[in-house]
């Protein structure tokens, strides 16, 4: 029997630093757990009794609904603005730049308050011919008025819708930048190849560029969704009173036990964010089709099945 080279037997490098770190962290964790258990201010029983009450669950629903709607609308508007930003048309790209500049510059909290008070600015909201009212007065023709639909600003632009409007407008500005980065990350050869096949620019964008850009767009969009879930707490300033944090702190101030309710808020947000993280994981997997790391696994399994 011919022996190959002798296997290596060496003394592994010692890592004393790891043991020291472990000891320090163990002590800190023990102290923290001790505090959780022994400090009466936590009022665990009180917290669990109150964190699942009807208005709180209503608040969870409002926060989740706001997150979903504002993200969907924000992403759609963001894609539109990103495409506008990359347009050859100077006017359109300037408008898009202006939008992202403005809505990234204004804090979300301020935007929420502003949208909640838009009723002062727009007492009536009407859809029809621009300047239709003054025009028809000027010409004496009633047809020019062209009013299709109208409503009282103070009934629409309050509460939920005002909050949704604020969050959507703000989110679209951030999403536009994310989508733009994604589109720019796709090799120029891809759109050239698509155009050489006779695809129009719109078709190239939809079928070739955006699907590939998604791989770059999805991870930061996941972050945005998580940030949005937490920022729904801001709509309390609109005001939207059915929102989660508002409800929890209301219970806290009513019962003079604010701290347990703040802990409850932490737990609710941590829980909901964790669920979102799972969803993000699957989305990322879906949009990395055809990319090297993924393919290795697939190639191996395909080879094995033959």
Partner 1 sequence: MVRAEGVRKRFGHLEVLKGISLEVAEREVMVLLGPSGSGKSTFLRCINHLEKIDGGRLSVDGELVGYRQSGDTLYELKEREVSRKRAEIGMVFQRFNLFPNMTALSNVTCAPVHVRGLKKDAAERRARELLDRVGLSDKADAYPSMLSGGQQQRVAIARALAMEPKLMLFDEPTSALDPELVGEVLDVMKGLARDGMTMIVVTHEMGFAREVGDRVVFMDDGVVVEEGPPASVFTNPQHARTKSFLSKIL
**Contacting positions for partner 1 (CB under 8 A):** 187, 189-190, 192-201, 203, 207-208, 211-212, 289-292, 295, 298-299
Choose between 30 and 291: whose C-beta lies nearer to partner 1. Answer: 291
How many Å apart are CA 246 and CA 227, to the nearest integer?
18
Least distance to partner 1 from the beta carbon of 80, Å?
Answer: 19
H helices present in the chain, as ranges:
16-38, 44-50, 54-85, 90-105, 108-116, 118-121, 132-139, 153-156, 159-185, 188-196, 201-203, 210-231, 244-255, 258-287, 292-305
Choose between 49 and 187: whose C-beta lies nearer to partner 1. Answer: 187
Torsion region of 159: left, alpha or beta (phi above 0 gives left; psi -120 to 50 gives alpha): left
Least distance to partner 1 from the beta carbon of 88, Å?
Answer: 11
Choose between 5 and 303: whose C-beta lies nearer to partner 1. Answer: 303
Least distance to partner 1 from the beta carbon of 295, Å?
Answer: 5
Least distance to partner 1 from the beta carbon of 18, Å?
Answer: 38
Torsion region of 72: left, alpha or beta (phi above 0 gives left; psi -120 to 50 gives alpha): alpha
Choose between 137 and 206: whose C-beta lies nearer to partner 1. Answer: 206
Which residues make Cβ contacts (< 8 Å) with residue 225, sequence separation at least 6? 67, 71, 276, 280
Choose between 29 and 302: whose C-beta lies nearer to partner 1. Answer: 302
Choose between 26 and 302: whose C-beta lies nearer to partner 1. Answer: 302
Nearest to 170 by CA among 237, 122, 115: 115
Least distance to partner 1 from the beta carbon of 110, Å?
Answer: 40
Least distance to partner 1 from the beta carbon of 287, Å?
Answer: 8
Nearest to 177 by CA among 69, 70, 281, 86: 86
Nearest to 183 by CA among 96, 107, 99, 98: 96
Least distance to partner 1 from the beta carbon of 245, Å?
Answer: 40
How many Å apart are CA 257 and CA 120, to the nearest integer?
37
Nearest to 240 by CA among 301, 305, 167: 167
Choose between 26 and 193: whose C-beta lies nearer to partner 1. Answer: 193
């Amino acid at each position: 029997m011919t022996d190959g080279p002798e296997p290596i037997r060496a003394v592994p490098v010692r890592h004393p630093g790891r043991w020291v770190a472990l000891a320090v962290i163990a002590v800190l964790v023990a102290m923290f757990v001790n505090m959780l258990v022994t400090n009466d201010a936590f009022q665990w029983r009180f917290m669990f009794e109150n964190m699942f009450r009807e208005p709180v669950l209503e608040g969870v629903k409002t926060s989740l609904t706001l997150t979903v709607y504002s993200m969907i609308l924000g992403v759609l508007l963001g894609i539109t603005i990103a495409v506008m930003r990359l347009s050859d048309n100077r006017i359109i790209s300037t408008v898009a730049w202006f939008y992202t500049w403005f809505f990234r510059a204004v804090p979300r909290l301020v935007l929420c308050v502003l949208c909640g008070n838009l009723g002062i600015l727009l007492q009536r909201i009407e859809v029809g011919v621009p300047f239709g009212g003054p025009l028809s007065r000027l010409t004496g023709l009633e047809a020019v008025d062209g009013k299709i639909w109208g409503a009282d600003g103070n009934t629409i632009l309050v509460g939920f819708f005002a909050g949704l409007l604020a969050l959507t407008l703000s989110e679209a500005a951030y999403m536009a930048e994310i989508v733009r980065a994604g589109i720019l990350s796709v090799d120029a050869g891809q759109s050239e190849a698509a155009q050489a096949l006779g695809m129009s620019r719109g078709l190239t964008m939809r079928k070739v560029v955006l699907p590939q850009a998604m791989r770059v767009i999805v991870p930061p969009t996941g972050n945005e969704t998580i940030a949005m879930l937490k920022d729904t707490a801001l709509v309390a300033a609109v005001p939207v009173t059915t929102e989660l944090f508002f409800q929890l702190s209301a219970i806290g101030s009513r019962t003079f036990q604010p701290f347990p309710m703040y802990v409850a808020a932490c737990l609710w947000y941590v829980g909901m964010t964790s669920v979102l993280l799972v969803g993000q994981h699957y989305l990322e997997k879906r949009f990395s089709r055809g990319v090297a790391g993924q393919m290795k696994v697939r190639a191996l399994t395909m080879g094995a099945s033959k």
